Amino acid sequence: MAWSEMNYIRTVQGIAEDAIAEYPDDDDGRQQYVSESVDGSEYVVYYGANEFVLRASQNEPDAAEVRAMSAEDEDWRTMRALAAYLAMEADVFEEIARLI
């Protein structure tokens, strides 16, 4: 899939819809599903795709939050991937809240 803001939004919507379908009455299961799906998403895994998350998301974490969750010696690429993860996870949970 080509990376773009529109494809990112579709990916978020797809993860949210799948989480609801798989775990309609299980918040813990849904949360686990979202965390694993976001963690394995190409938008988080690939550095070049992180930019599309951070541009499209209204949930970009601030630098202090990212630093607090990372190891002291993490490089900026790892911290950018963590920021993309946190933003995407928040986007998916917002989409779930909108859908249910």
Axis-axis angle for helices 76-99, 27-39 (nearest 10): 140
The pLDDT > 70 percentage for the chain reads: 99
pLDDT for residue 35: 97
pLDDT for residue 91: 98
CA dist 29 to 26, 34, 54, 97, Å?
Answer: 5, 9, 26, 15
Pairwise CA distance, residues 37 & 63, whole Å: 23
pLDDT for residue 59: 94
Longest dimension (CA), the chain: 40
Q: Which of 98, 76, 100, 95 is nearest to 37 (CA)?
A: 95
pLDDT for residue 79: 87
pLDDT for residue 6: 94
* Residue 36 pLDDT > 80: yes
* Residue 37 pLDDT > 80: yes
* Residue 12 pLDDT > 80: yes
What pLDDT, in 10s, does the model give residues 58-91? 998 887 777 777 777 778 888 899 999 999 999 9
Does residue 83 contact residue 60 with C-beta atoms inside 8 Å?
A: yes
